[in-house]
Structure 1
Amino acid sequence: MTEESHADTAEPSERGPLSVVRLLELAELPPGVVNLVLGDARAGIPLAGHEQIQLVHFTGSVATGKRVGAAAGERLHRAVLELGGKDPVVVDAGVDPVATAQAVAFGAFINTGQICTSMERIYVHRDVAEPFVEALVAAAESFPVGNGLDEGVVLGPLVDQRQRDIVVRHVEDAVRKGAKVRAGGIVPAGKGFCYPPTVLTEVDDSMLVLTEETFGPVAPVVVVDAFEEGLERASQSEYGLAATVYTDDPDHIAAAARIPAGVTWVNQWQGGGPERLYEPARDSGMGATGARAAYDAATRPSSVHIAAAS
């Protein structure tokens, strides 16, 4: 037997609540099915620890996720936490460098880099590095940036000033430590918190852009001498949300599973159907989700045993 009739409570980020408000308006659900709470952590943390909450499903930063998880743990509530990411890409020798660069540009820049699984670290084999970077720069420069409501604009603004400040800080830190800006890297004039698609080369692990979540349209490229080196570098992170590998080598396809990540895509990005299961690794979260796991997390099985008739 399972309990399936509980109402939901949604508490969207205080940095972008209006989309959730509008979504629930359009859904036209019966009163009480989804209850909306607006606020920041001062609302969310107590909500996670409320005695009537049975499951907490949180998507957000690692720091806030730890606070949410602690509040849920105090009540022994189950929790599914999808937290930050610094998702790597490994580009092997032998792939089409132009087509792969175009795919990586989409994964790094679309939605202005504000997707949990945006590509944030790129490790490319030296054999294809030069044409790959040239194609990545060309792709970056082809994305129109501006007001998302204007015709032809592909990349709108970042969510707020605070987020753009993080992106600027990461890029400036990298440049100060020796990185080269191949595209973008300059805050545009005008209203809104826009930032152009940016490609950086000659980056290393001393730079924030390779170690902290940027959550913006920045593609730092590291050239490696072998696929194995790229795999090892991709695995060296406190995060483990997702990863992407581009290779034509069957052995390298099999080796891609060694990257500690909830999901690893090979020769695509954001692929998979409704049957896909995953659980983030390391500081990227806890709790499996997708397909049957989502149902299992949201329900509580119980059994009733009836004595056999004598």
Structure 2
Amino acid sequence: MRTLQNHIDGRWVDSSGADTITRLNPYHETPVAVLPAGTAEDADTAVRAAERAQPAWAALNLPDRLARLRHLAALVEKNVDDLAAMETEEMGKPRQIAAQFIHAGLTAFTDALHHAESYRFAHRVKVVDGVATDVQRFPVGVVALIVPWNFTVTTILMTLGQALAAGNTVVVKPSEKASISAVGFFELVDQAGLPAGAVNLLLGDGHSGAPLAGHPGIDLVHFTGSVRTGRSVATAAAANFNRALLELGGKDPVVVDSDVDVHAVAEEVAVGSYLNSGQICTAMERIYVHQDVAEPFVDALVAATRRQVVGDPADPGTQIGPMVDGDQRQLVHRQVEAAVAAGARVLVGGEVPEGPGWFYPPTVVVDVRPEMELMCAETFGPVAAVQVVPSFEAGVEEAKRTEFGLAATVYTADADHRKLACSIPTGVLWLGGWQLGDLGRLIEPAGVSGMGASGGVYALDAMTRPTSVSYVVHAVQDGADTDVRGEIS
């Protein structure tokens, strides 16, 4: 069993508090790690280290910063399998899926470095009567990166490159449910030779997370997690008038039109509903299928569900491992039971299996209604809830019936129906397939699914602070939109 420590100011250090958390392996239900519960003092120490390191890190020229970050990326590339094994150990994710998503996060990390190379950190706005006005973008300062348990390393990679490339320093706070892989990542940070304090690791639960989000030394909070915790994070950040980028829960809809290959779509819906045991914020949780193809679609979905391989997440043949813990499994099962009590039917799955491991079987539920919790609250488990609709238009209207707005997937061959699908309020809309594109895409969630745009070049906008600089020039020129990068020191 591992004993985990914070990594602050370039050193592995113990918490200032004595309270600890024991993490169990979701497959064996045996202890695998002990970590500190964390304290406000730990959070303060991490933030102060980042504050001290930030001016020197920002003062490095951009090529030097990017070279060091590319060295870190190369180390991650060499150690993907080890990091994936850690995620399997701590939260039950099948190892090949863990590796796949770490690679995707690494692509987002390196893409952020490419974006930084061409990003206009300074540009000319106008020259009027001998006075030039430029916009320069400076680092915001210290970024708190609060990471969810379902994709620890991937989420770190997706945001860390943006923050560091822009000249910020960072405090990473992983979930207490999945800190082993974060420690593994910071072992690579040690090898990468980044300046002490540029990136810091703060372990623990809310005892360290809440003080971090509300710390006056934090300039931007980037949080991925539940709506409830996201509200608290946003409130804490607002108290200091700090920025907050939030990616919160989802209740993502799928609309299946009558003109699609229902067997192919059903296979993809099975993946979208069950991948990582459904513990994905963009999982397919509400499925609206046109009545003309409902019967063959449901039959195909049930068949695809029965073919899912559930088992040891370390086995290369396993598609679905255990859930992260017993509490999450119970939440999922409670929603399924409540739906059945209200008239829904389970066609496959829906029972808590006996034996060790926090498994929940891939489950298909039909005859659901919009008011059921299974159709309006985030499930975060391997459940495909199917509602038959009389038309494509009705399916789109049902898709809109939610307070969430993270992602949506629509299957149709009709051009007009594709246009109609664009009326769904969502951060990401996938037409004709799930998870199209890469993790570096722009996303700005709608509704309670979050706030703030991130991804790609937009992330660099969020990670920098614009300042208008006006000054007298000797030669008056019409220089609108002229790039003046490096003209002003």
What is the CA deviation profile of residues 128-180 of structure 1, one whole-angstrom value per residue up to 9, with x for unaligned ones?
A: 11111011111111111122013421111111111001011011111111111
Give the % identical residues.
Answer: 54
Give the ranges of 4+ consecutive aligned residues of structure 1 lying more than 6 Å apart after TM superposition: none
Query: Distance in 2 between the 1:74 and 1:289 partners?
Result: 22
Equivalence for 1:270: 435
1:282 Cα offset (Å): 0.5
The answer to whether 1:185 aligns with 2:350 is: yes
1:47 Cα offset (Å): 0.7
The answer to whether 1:16 aligns with 2:178 is: yes
What is the CA deviation profile of residues 68-91 of structure 1, one whole-angstrom value per residue up to 9, with x for unaligned ones?
A: 000000011111000000000000
Q: How does 1:201-216 map to 2 (within 5 A)?
A: 201-216=366-381
Equivalence for 1:141: 306
Local SS of the residue matching 1:152: coil
1:260 Cα offset (Å): 0.9
What is the CA deviation profile of residues 97-136 of structure 1, one whole-angstrom value per residue up to 9, with x for unaligned ones?
A: 1000001111010111011100000000011111110111
Structure 1 letter corresponding to 2:442: L
Query: Distance in 1 between the 2:327 and 2:403 partners?
Result: 23
Local SS of the residue matching 1:221: strand
Query: Distance in 2 between the 1:41 and 1:144 partners?
Result: 35
Structure 2 letter corresponding to 1:23: F
Local SS of the residue matching 1:10: strand
Q: Which of 288, 312, 315 is 1:150 aligned to?
A: 315
RMSD: 1.4
1:277 Cα offset (Å): 1.7
The answer to whether 1:85 aligns with 2:247 is: no
Structure 2 letter corresponding to 1:182: L
Query: Distance in 1 between the 2:359 and 2:183 partners?
Result: 24
Q: Which of 252, 263, 269 is 2:417 aligned to?
A: 252
Local SS of the residue matching 1:132: helix
Equivalence for 1:49: 214
Query: Distance in 1 between the 2:465 and 2:321 partners?
Result: 42
Equivalence for 2:229: 64
Normalising by structure 2, report the TM-score: 0.62
What is the CA deviation profile of residues 166-223 of structure 1, one whole-angstrom value per residue up to 9, with x for unaligned ones?
A: 0110111111111111111111122111111000000112321101100000000000
Query: Distance in 1 between the 2:408 and 2:332 partners?
Result: 21
Query: Distance in 2 between the 1:243 and 1:23 partners?
Result: 32
The answer to whether 1:175 aligns with 2:340 is: yes
Query: Distance in 2 between the 1:250 and 1:6 partners?
Result: 44
1:273 Cα offset (Å): 4.3
1:250 Cα offset (Å): 0.3
Greater Rg over alpha carbons, structure: 2
Query: Distance in 1 between the 2:441 and 2:325 partners?
Result: 33
What is the CA deviation profile of residues 47-72 of structure 1, one whole-angstrom value per residue up to 9, with x for unaligned ones?
A: 11111111110000000000000000
The unaligned stretches of length 5 or more in structure 2 are 1-135, 140-165, 476-489
Q: Which of 284, 290, 303 is 2:449 aligned to?
A: 284
The answer to whether 1:223 aligns with 2:388 is: yes
Structure 1 letter corresponding to 2:185: L
Local SS of the residue matching 2:422: helix
More strand by share: 2
1:309 Cα offset (Å): 4.8
The unaligned stretches of length 5 or more in structure 1 are none
1:22 Cα offset (Å): 1.5
How many pairs align?
A: 310
Normalising by structure 1, report the TM-score: 0.96
Query: Distance in 2 between the 1:307 and 1:255 partners?
Result: 52
The answer to whether 1:25 aligns with 2:190 is: no
1:275 Cα offset (Å): 6.4
Query: Distance in 2 between the 1:236 and 1:218 partners?
Result: 19
The answer to whether 1:6 aligns with 2:168 is: yes
Equivalence for 1:101: 266
